[in-house]
Amino acid sequence: MFHHLFAAWDGLDHAVRTGEPGFNKVFGKPVFDYVGTHPELGPILDAGMTCFHGYETWAMLEVYDFGAVHVLADIGGGNGSLIASVLQRYPMMRGMLFDLGHVVARARERLSGYGIADRCQVLEGSFFETVPSGADAYLFRHILHDWTDEQCVQILSHCRNVIPKHGTLLVVECVIPAGNDRSISKDFDMTMMTFPGGLERTESEFRSLYKQAGFELTSVTPTSTMVSVIEGKPIPVA
């Protein structure tokens, strides 16, 4: 994957100086638009993301109990490997995979290979425009770190519009520790700044995002990997 995209680091100084993604400066368009217009990169990106983050799935399942979830929506779920793993662990659960059309087109075959296609609805769309209703838990793994605070509030607000009052928001991402100690999350923070133009966040920054979108951050559950499960509940409307 980086064989094709590594040149974006030539835009690091541009990102630092302007706040704009270095990728845009080097490749002429945002990273996800670039991949979308180069279909040969789609399968490579899928495989690359699985290599980066696939090991986090079992770590998440070891520490967070999805047993009370009836329908889980994986928003921006990519190739479907995450939702498939959760559904395999919880055979009574049903799932929803939501992503852009050119992404879910690749996911359908993969879901069939996992043997859970009959329990997972595949839906096309953009989380900047809407989020599908019908789930009682909404999962975002490595989604918010791609985007600015304003864009994240927009995404989460769409989720707030459809989530039931008893529903659960689950964000699986790095949580940057306080202070200046070493942390791989800080390396990923630079990567997000340079490639999509996003950032990794501290617990207080997540708490602020949640509140702006109508959620209360209720818990942060660390895993044995660099990610945590950041749980939220919808704030009741007065």
Just list the catalytic residues.
145
Q: What is the distance between the alpha carbons of residues 228 and 56, in angstroms, rounded to a whole number? A: 9
- Phi and psi at 225, nearest 5°, equal -105, -165
Q: Where are the beta strands (DSSP E) in 81-208?
A: 94-99, 120-124, 137-141, 168-174
Q: What is the distance between the alpha carbons of residues 174 and 121, in angstroms, rounded to a whole number? A: 28
Q: What is the distance between the alpha carbons of residues 174 and 220, in angstroms, rounded to a whole number? A: 11
Q: What is the distance between the alpha carbons of residues 158 and 187, in angstroms, rounded to a whole number? A: 30
Helix, strand or coil, per DSSP, at residue 238: coil
Closest alpha carbon to 197 in 5, 59, 25: 25
Q: What is the distance between the alpha carbons of residues 83 and 79, in angstroms, rounded to a whole number? A: 9
